[in-house]
Amino acid sequence: MTRRILLVVHPHRPEALEAASLASAALAGEGVSTCTDFRVGDAPIEAALVLGGDGTMLHAADMTRGTGIPLLGVNLGHVGFLAELERDDVAHAARRLAGGEYSVEERGTLDVTVTSPEGVVETGWALNDVTVERANLRTTIEVALDIDGRPLSTFGCDGVVVSTATGSTAHAFSAGGPVLWPDVDAVLVVPLAAHALFARPLVVSPSSHVSVEILDRSSSDGQVVLDGARAIDLARGGRVEVRRGAQTVRLARTSDAPFSERLVKKFALPVDGFRGTRPIAGWGAGI
């Protein structure tokens, strides 16, 4: 049977197109064909090689949703937290995929239900985050936040981010939220520029239901943005409900390096003076 690997390539970066050519050649050398879309009747797709930044990875996750296809990212962007490898590793990444030399990490998602004031319901999902934002950038929105059906607070703000552990290094982090390790099973709620005494980031149970309603007294309508790419309008009086997603996203990993190493690398964190496992003076001496 013909073996196939999906290529998901950032369409507007010349280096991504060059990387796709390198990857295709490397895969052909391993007897594996490539494709850029799904077609009924074709051979099954073993995995996807994603060439771009985090936006391209999120697009690939949406493109392959429900298929169980593992995604291996090669970062051609800036930070690239979701990518496993860097731009010099394209051919290497392709050969690792062809040889099955990777493990699979399951990442949790969020399911979203948006209900308009008239009762019209739209649904969506996100791997990183769901953001309730103001539609008019010159004003704020007034929101009511509740957890598991119980009111928690009302406040004016620029918006509210509801994030997975995976998305804690994205929009939620920029808004002052904590970084969650990927294996932390929790949901993060971070208000954006809130006018309130109590509007701190919250880490809630993965089984919790988070709801945000734009109050009628708000001076602006809003919108719900999924993974920074897909948007659903949310008028005053509308409500968005977020809960743990029914499906996961499968990320291919070629390294067992700890997440702390990824943080240091991606954020260029200073670690000068770190002494590793060497004994510290005073330890073991009753001090």
Which residues carry out catalysis? 54
Six-digit token pair at 99? 């040889």
Environment class of 103 (CB within 10 Å of its CB; exposed 0-12, middle 13-18, buried 19+) = exposed
CA distance linking residue 142 with residue 131, whole number of Å: 14
Six-digit token pair at 85? 């490898």
H helices of 229-272, in order, are 259-267
Match 């994030």 to its residue by tokens: 163
Match 């004031």 to its residue by tokens: 117
| Residues in Cβ contact with 106 at an 8 Å cutoff, skipping those fewer than 6 apart | 248, 249, 250
